[in-house]
Amino acid sequence: MTLLKKIFQSQDARSKTVAKNVFFSLFIKIANILINFLTIPLVLSFLNTTQYGIWLTLTAVLGWFSLFDLGFGNGLRNHLTISISKNNDIESKIYVSTTYAALSVIFGILIIIFLLINPFIDWTLVFNAPAKMSRDLNNAVLIAICLLFVQFVLRLINTVLLSVQRSAMADFINSLVQLLILGGIFFLKTTKNNSLTAIAIVYSITPIIVFLLISFILFVKRYKFLTPSIKFVRVSYAKNLLQIGLNFFIIQIAALVLYASDNFIIAQLFAPADVTVYNISFKYFSIINILFTIIMVPFWSMTTHSFAAGDYSWIKKTVKKLVFIWGILAICCMVQAAVANPLYKLWTNNKVLVPLNLTIVMCVYVITTNWGAIFSNFLNGVGKVRVQLYLSIGGMIINIPMAVFFVRYCHAGIIGIPLATIITMIIANIFSSIQYKKIISATATGIWNK
């Protein structure tokens, strides 16, 4: 208890807000992991392996649709945080209203386009599913995609919460969604409804209901000054949101290609079984990434707020703390690597053998990723992302050829793939840290200040 009091009472207001969000988010994330742990075997208990495989593939495809917001969400996060820090309620309301309107138009158009082309798509061919599943699969895809587009608009409430320094509440909402989905799946099992359509309904309607209720409660009561209204929609503000939002949009695409291409490359250059080996090592070290992500989430909006207020000293102190935490977690990561082999055997029941060199490279991969997150988080918060944009595009272009070069010509084996990503990240991290120092010392000019 004494330690908790020191965390929450002995710091400045911003640091205390961050500490509280991190503290509560940690417990919420643990609860979320447990919920997901219970959800998977529950779904598997009444769906056959073919159905479950198709559902996993469908959800993976749906994840790519999140990019269609064109960066409006991240643009809102930065602009709204600045407006709130200046106590400009009118401008804050305009940004919220304009973002809701813009995304409603974008995803409304996408729903219409999808409804027009959907009848001409044979989803059994797309997902390589048995012909007898045609009707069930078509209905599931129709429901999942259309309602997902609706979710993207309603999910803006989480962006609003991040802007007002309530990241823990945003995490709570996401966990509440997962908990209710778990309850819905349990209901399907008790009623013996094992169709993909039923699963799609549970996964799609649940978040819509939760986001609607939470939005109504927060906008009517606590954040009434931010309630979206058609009267406050401004096209000129949409341009402001897009100006930085499109940069975030391109960076997100580059990151997806950079980080999501590894499994594809492994499957092409090696055997499918090697994908399992790679993912076992990646998931083994992912706990460090999860912990650091929890810590990092509140700092984006806090950095935006502090930068707008000219409080550079708080940013410097915070970055030093983050570097210290990064060092502790890096040591933990190395300890993980040292004891990895027996834990791999215990975890996989001695079915998967992970080479030592892959374990070491994956350890370096995680440490490098977390180091870069400190400076990219700062740059995202202050909206200076031009250098990061160019580096992301460059990384996206060279990563796959470099991985192929390491595997085929340097005979590096499977470690050549994460090694290529590490080199790409190190280059980006060096430039990001240089840009941070220039901005924080007020010496950034030209591209360094964009």
Is 448 within 8 Å of 439 (Cβ atoms)? yes
**CB atoms near residue 179 (< 10 Å):** 18
Final residue of a structural domain among 241, 271, 305: 241
pLDDT at 4: 40
Same domain, yes or no, for 113 and 40?
A: yes
**CB atoms near residue 161 (< 10 Å):** 21
pLDDT at 2: 43
**CB atoms near residue 44 (< 10 Å):** 12
With helix as H, strand as E and coil as C, how does the chain read? CHHHHHHHHCCCHHHHHHHHHHHHHHHHHHHHHHHHHHHHHHHHCCCCHHHHHHHHHHHHHHHHHHHHHCCHHHHHHHHHHHHHHCCCHHHHHHHHHHHHHHHHHHHHHHHHHHHHHHHHCCHHHHCCCCHHHHHHHHHHHHHHHHHHHHHHHHCHHHHHHHHCCCHHHHHHHHHHHHHHHHHHHHHHHHCCCCCHHHHHHHHHHHHHHHHHHHHHHHHHCCCHHHCCCHHHCCHHHHHHHHHHHHHHHHHHHHHHHHHHCHHHHHHHHCCHHHHHHHHHHHHHHHHHHHHHHHHHHHHHHHHHHHHHCCCHHHHHHHHHHHHHHHHHHHHHHHHHHHCHHHHHHHHHCCCCCCCHHHHHHHHHHHHHHHHHHHHHHHHHHHCCCHHHHHHHHHHHHHHHHHHHHHHHCCCCHHHHHHHHHHHHHHHHHHHHHHHHHHHHCCCCCHHHHC
- Radius of gyration over every alpha carbon of the chain, rounded to an integer in angstroms: 23
pLDDT at 363: 94
pLDDT at 64: 67
- Gap between the Cα atoms of 261 and 440, Å rounded: 34
Q: Does residue 253 form part of some domain?
A: no
Same domain, yes or no, for 166 and 266?
A: no
Look at the chain and report how many structural domains it folds into. 2
pLDDT in tens, 52-77: 667 766 776 776 666 666 778 888 88
Same domain, yes or no, for 283 and 395?
A: yes
pLDDT at 221: 84
Final residue of a structural domain among 241, 276, 304: 241
Same domain, yes or no, for 130 and 91?
A: yes
Same domain, yes or no, for 294 and 198?
A: no
- Gap between the Cα atoms of 386 and 378, Å rounded: 13
pLDDT at 396: 83
pLDDT at 327: 93
Q: Does residue 126 form part of some domain?
A: yes
HSE (CB half, 13 Å, CA atoms) of 188?
24
Same domain, yes or no, for 54 and 136?
A: yes
Q: Does residue 217 form part of some domain?
A: yes
Segments forming the whole domain that contains residue 355: 261-449
Digit-by-digit pLDDT tens for the chain (450 residues) are 444 444 444 456 666 676 676 777 777 777 777 776 677 667 767 777 677 667 766 776 776 666 666 778 888 888 898 898 888 999 999 999 999 999 999 899 999 999 999 998 888 887 777 888 888 888 988 998 899 889 989 999 998 998 888 888 888 888 899 899 889 988 988 888 878 888 889 989 999 999 999 999 999 888 899 999 999 999 888 888 887 777 777 887 777 776 666 766 776 677 656 666 777 788 788 888 888 887 887 787 788 888 888 888 889 988 998 999 999 999 999 999 999 888 888 776 776 788 899 999 999 999 999 999 999 989 988 888 889 889 988 888 888 889 889 888 888 888 888 899 899 999 999 999 999 999 999 898 889 988
Question: 349 in the Ramachandran plot: left (φ > 0), alpha (ψ -120 to 50) or beta?
Answer: left
Q: Does residue 415 form part of some domain?
A: yes
Q: Does residue 129 form part of some domain?
A: yes
Same domain, yes or no, for 268 and 235?
A: no
Final residue of a structural domain among 173, 208, 241: 241
**CB atoms near residue 285 (< 10 Å):** 21
Q: What is the distance, to the nearest Å, from the Cα of residue 5 to the centroid of all Cα atoms in its chain?
A: 31
- Gap between the Cα atoms of 76 and 240, Å rounded: 9
